Structure 1
Amino acid sequence: MSEVDHGTKSKRLVFVTVGTTSFDSLVRAVDTQEVKEALFRKGYTHLIIQMGRGSYIPTKSAGEDESLDVDYFTFSSSIAEYLKSASLVISHAGSGSIFETLRLEKPLIVVVNEDLMDNHQSELAEELAERKHLFCARPQTLFRTIQEMDLESLIAYQPGDCNTGC
């Protein structure tokens, strides 16, 4: 008997979060057919988008016909359960979302919002990507980042220890 039962494919969730802001360009990017197909080819089965204050409404899908099951919501009192159940997180560049995801040791793609003025968030995301703790993208490069990402190349983030020299 085969170990893999193709009839009951295990759920592999991609959770997208924009935080409390509006980041329609990220929501639009994950809602494209090419991004959804790239995620499906990587073995993901479900996509949940937390869209915040955005006005762009993504397309829901029940996941039939070899495609992702897609759902969305605006806000939740806590996204912790979504992060815990995710196989991959795609996030805005807010430090809270980044570090909460890294603490959970979840693979992370941070998408920088280039519409923000004085974008210090991009510096954080780019530095952590350089250290191989996460992948960094822009809305227009998200598809390529997903296609090329190698989760095995990521290095677990070790938070600083305040007991040793703060």
Structure 2
Amino acid sequence: MGKEDDGLESRRTVFVTVGTTRFDSLVRAVDTQEVKEELYKNGYTHLLIQMGRGSYVPAKSTGENGSLVVDYFTFSSSIADYLRSASLVISHAGSGSIFETLRLQKPLIVVVNEDLMDNHQSELAEELAERKHLFCARPQTLYQTIANMDLGLLIPYQPGDATPVAEFINSFLGFPR
């Protein structure tokens, strides 16, 4: 490996995603000095925030004086590459973002948006947290979650085989096998 690769090996990125929603309280929470300092203290070097439709704009930083490099964007046609290169993902509670991150076996903190009506997403996040596949937080508890998280306690998520369910549904609907 050449010298130009050395910076990438030590780069540890926290990727934050709010999906297509407006979730300013999550973006505000990760933009606080205490959260950024805690992430840096835990060995993370970069914070990349996908802020969606939100109106709150986080502060960019070049990472000088012993702090995180912070950048943001609104949308991308795919967040797969961001998820793959992340060392830690902080996500809204959308099932697509959750399962895509878990499938990549990335450490995950799911932050529940309490402003949503009928928030069934919180049930999914809390169940997966209880099973120790991820950490679950609220915007106001994000700092504490990061400060107390022990990534060694997470259990890798093993997706189930959906074939029997699909076969049952196809049979029920009268489709041939």
Same-fold call, TM cutoff 0.5: yes
Q: TM-score, normalised by structure 1?
A: 0.94
2:65 aligned residue: 65
Q: Does 1:140 align with 2:128?
A: no
Which runs of at least 4 in structure 1 moved beyond 6 Å after TM superposition? none
2:116 partner SS: coil
Structure 1, residues 132-154: CA drift from partner, whole Å, max 9, x if none? 00000000000000000000000
Residues in 1 aligned to 2:118 and 2:77: alpha-carbon distance in whole angstroms: 28
Q: Map 1:1-166 onto structure 2 (within 5 A).
A: 10-163=10-163, 165-166=164-165
Aligned length: 159
Task: Map Cα deviations across residues 69-95 of structure 1 (whole Å, 9 max, x no partner).
Answer: 000000000000000000000000000
Q: CA deviation at 1:162?
A: 2.0
Secondary structure in 2 matching 1:125: helix
Q: Distance in 1 between matches of 2:67 and 2:87?
A: 17
Between the aligned partners of 2:57 and 2:151, the Cα distance in structure 1 is 29
Q: Which has the higher helix share?
A: 2
Separation in structure 1 between the aligned mates of residue 84 and residue 32 of structure 2, nearest angstrom = 25
Paired letter, 2:131: R
Aligned-pair CA distance for 1:10: 0.4
Secondary structure of residue in 2 paired with 1:39? helix
Identical counterparts, % of pairs: 81
Q: Kindly state the Cα deviation for residue 35 of structure 1 after the two structures are TM-superposed.
A: 0.1
RMSD over aligned CA atoms reads 1.1
Unaligned 5+ segments in structure 1 are 1-6
Matched residues in 2 for 1:46 and 1:64: separation?
A: 12
TM-score, normalised to structure 2, is 0.88
Query: Aligned to 1:102, what secondary structure does the other structure show?
Result: helix
Secondary structure of 1:133 counterpart: coil
Rg: which structure is higher? Answer: 2
What runs of 5+ residues in structure 2 fail to find an aligned partner?
A: 1-5, 166-177
Amino acid of the structure 1 residue aligned with 2:110: V
